């Protein structure tokens, strides 16, 4: 029998749980003044972040190459953004001149836009990831020219690899095992280089996101695929033995960390690299068991052997996140899965994540 996931009272990644947690939708008390430009605003994390910022009275310039209605997973969330007078959508690629012009007067840039398919990053598929790196450089050039004070860049736990020995700390050597991981490392290092350049007025925070899930996430991601397997009875491909431990992160915790990264006091030219993850560590098999318990339906897994580029077990150490950002994850793994199942059950359409998918992020 596989080991049980971490209990709800004993996180093992340096996260000091509070005795009284905030509600997921409760805003932070510290105001974040000014204007925030969010790239990838039509995506999973971007749409949640933009709404959270607008609820706090922050003006948001959303940038995305896709129109609002391009993704049925997030279109409903995006339509809610237009309820706020402080929201403006710029339909453009990150490297387009319109984006550089839109940076004038912006206080913080949160750069989320990037190619995300790990499996497709090999071979010809790397062109999308190379484009993401180039767009990051062009965006940083614009930030430097327009003297944007703060850039928050989304990195990934995929930068670690086997060198971390299972427990990933920011001061450890990085060893990405996929072209995707290499591209994320390049993006974060570009941000740090621009901030550290002599005479720079910029400071930068690179957030290394660990496995994310929540309403609106891509159905090709692992958690919605587990729910899909439960709903359809179709087996989900299992790469590896499924026993490696990972840290699972609900989207509201990611949003919380991004906002904290945007408002933490920093001097011009300074940088931070910080892990962002949930409190619970569990293997894919353990998460599949939890999904089965929540849905009342067994999740079938079909072994497919090893796959190039898949991250080994990476468990986040959150000591630095707590010290630098005051970040403490609020949503436990089971609670987040229940919330996601409730969302999917209220919208049982193919776009809700209950349709079959063969790719993995």
87 CB-side CA count, 13 A:
25
Strands (E), the chain: 35-39, 59-64, 87-91, 108-111, 150-156, 167-168, 203-209, 212-213, 236-238, 245-247, 249-250, 271-276, 281-283, 301-303, 315-316
Residues 6+ apart with CB under 8 A from 20: none
180 catalytic? Reply is yes
Cα-Cα-Cα-Cα dihedral of 93, 138, 144, 154, to 10°? 70
Comparing C-alpha atoms, which of 70, 121, 45 is closest to residue 360?
121
Comparing C-alpha atoms, which of 115, 179, 187, 163 is closest to residue 312?
163
The secondary structure of the chain in percent helix, strand, coil, rounded to multiples of 5, reads 40, 15, 45
Q: DSSP 3-state assignment of 98? A: helix
Residues 6+ apart with CB under 8 A from 342: none
Active-site hit among 84, 104, 180, 194: 180
Distance CA 312, CA 30 (A): 37
Q: Is residue 149 packed enough to be buried (19+ CB in 10 Å), middle (13-18) or exposed (0-12)? A: middle
Q: Residue by residue, what is the 3-state secondary structure of 301-314?
A: EEECCCCCCCCCCC
Comparing C-alpha atoms, which of 197, 199, 183, 304 is closest to residue 241?
304
Distance CA 208, CA 114 (A): 14
What are the tokens at 146?
A: 């327009």
Catalytically active residues, by annotation: 180
């Amino acid at each position: 029998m596989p080991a049980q996931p971490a209990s709800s009272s004993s996180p093992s990644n340096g996260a000091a749980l509070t005795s009284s947690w905030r509600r997921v939708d409760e805003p932070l008390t510290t105001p974040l003044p000014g204007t925030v430009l969010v790239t990838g605003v039509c995506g999973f994390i971007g749409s949640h972040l933009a709404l959270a910022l607008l609820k706090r009275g922050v003006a948001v310039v959303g940038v995305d190459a896709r129109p609002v209605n391009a993704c049925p997973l997030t279109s409903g969330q995006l339509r809610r953004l237009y309820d706020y007078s402080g929201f403006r959508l710029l339909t453009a690629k990150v490297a387009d001149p319109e984006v550089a012009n839109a940076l004038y007067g912006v206080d913080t840039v949160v750069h989320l836009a990037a190619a995300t398919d790990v499996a497709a990053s090999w071979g010809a598929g790397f062109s999308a990831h190379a484009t993401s790196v180039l767009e990051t450089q062009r965006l940083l050039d614009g930030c430097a020219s327009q003297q944007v004070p703060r850039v928050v860049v989304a990195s990934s736990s995929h930068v670690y690899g086997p060198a971390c020995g299972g427990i990933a700390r920011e001061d450890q050597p990085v060893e990405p095992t996929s072209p995707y991981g290499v591209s994320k490392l390049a993006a974060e290092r570009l941000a740090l280089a621009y901030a550290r350049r002599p005479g720079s007025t910029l400071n930068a925070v690179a957030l290394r996101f660990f496995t994310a899930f929540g309403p609106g996430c891509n159905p090709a991601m692992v958690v919605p695929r587990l729910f899909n397997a439960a709903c359809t009875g179709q087996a989900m491909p299992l790469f590896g033995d499924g026993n490696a431990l990972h840290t699972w992160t609900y989207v509201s915790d990611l949003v919380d960390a991004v906002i904290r990264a945007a408002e933490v006091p920093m001097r011009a030219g300074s940088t931070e690299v910080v892990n962002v993850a949930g409190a619970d560590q569990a293997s894919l098999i353990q998460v599949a068991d939890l999904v089965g318990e929540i849905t009342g339906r067994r999740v079938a897994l079909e072994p497919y052997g090893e796959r190039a580029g898949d991250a080994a077990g990476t468990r986040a150490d959150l000591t630095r996140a707590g010290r630098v950002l005051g970040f403490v994850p609020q949503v436990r793994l089971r609670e987040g899965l229940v919330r996601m199942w409730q969302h999917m059950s209220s919208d049982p359409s193919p776009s809700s994540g209950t349709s079959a998918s063969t790719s993995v992020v």
